[in-house]
Amino acid sequence: IPLADVIGVAEELLARVRAVEGVRSATLAGSIRRMRDTVKDLDLLAATDQPAAVLQAIAADELVHEVVAAGDTKLTVRTLRDLQVDVRVVEPSSWGAALIYFTGSKAHNVRIRERALRQGVTLNEYGLFARDGGERLAGADEAEVYNALGLAWIPPTLREDRGEIDAAASDTLPDLVTTAALRGDLHGHSDWSG
């Protein structure tokens, strides 16, 4: 589905999730956070200490047409516009690791986990852990997890396994164009007239 066709529904649902009692943080993840041209579905991540109550509130939201699957920490729903949304809830201490896990492409995530294993640690959606005793080394913040792996924070739009991990390791990530960098008016002309 073209990103432009789902961004409105995604942002409205995100605002509703952020307003749910017990939600500490919430954001869109997956291909929509990477700003891909098209998306298959929406991934939404929320940090909370009350997973059951939060998932129940999301399932009961008026934008939800159908609950496809429900579990202790995840929920799959279809919106009124028949868009599938996969919701994951995590503890706040896992927020950063979960953002990395649910945002990066499959290839990006494989490369990051391989790097962790080479360093003698384990990375998953709950955090970065020492292999010997399972002690959590990082997890609450994305930058903290990347830094613990010897990497600069990688912007979500670059998490496609196209050289960004090597660039983050050598501190040579490109500067991305932001809205703040734009100067002037942007407009276009067409031959469409009404």
Who wins on pLDDT, 2 or 101?
A: 101
Q: Kindly state the average pLDDT of the residues 85-113.
A: 96
Q: How far apart are CA 102 and CA 105, in angstroms?
A: 8
- What is the pLDDT confidence band of residue 194, given thresholds at 50, 70 and 90? low
- What is the pLDDT confidence band of residue 162, given thresholds at 50, 70 and 90? very high
Specify the pLDDT at position 190: 82
Specify the pLDDT at position 119: 94
Specify the pLDDT at position 73: 95
pLDDT in tens, 109-143: 999 999 999 999 999 999 999 987 789 999 999 99
Specify the pLDDT at position 161: 95
Q: Is the pLDDT of residue 186 over 90?
A: no
Q: In this structure, are residues 99 and 105 in contact, taking their beta carbons and an 8 Å threshold?
A: no
Phi/psi region, residue 41 (left: phi>0; alpha: psi -120 to 50; beta: rest), is beta
Average pLDDT, the chain: 92
- What is the pLDDT confidence band of residue 88, given thresholds at 50, 70 and 90? very high
Q: Is the pLDDT of residue 105 over 70?
A: yes
Residue 9 CB-density burial (10 A; 0-12 exposed, 13-18 middle, 19+ buried): middle
Q: Is the pLDDT of residue 27 over 90?
A: yes
Output phi, psi for 130, to 5 deg.
-70, 135
Q: What is the DSSP letter of 124?
A: E
Q: What amino acid is encoded at 187 in this protein?
A: H
Q: Kindly state the average pLDDT of the residues 62-69.
A: 93
Look up the pTM and report it. 0.86
DSSP of 94-163, one letter per residue? GHHHHHHHHHS-HHHHHHHHHHHHHTTEEEETTEEEETTT--EEE-SSHHHHHHHTT-PPPPGGG-SSSS
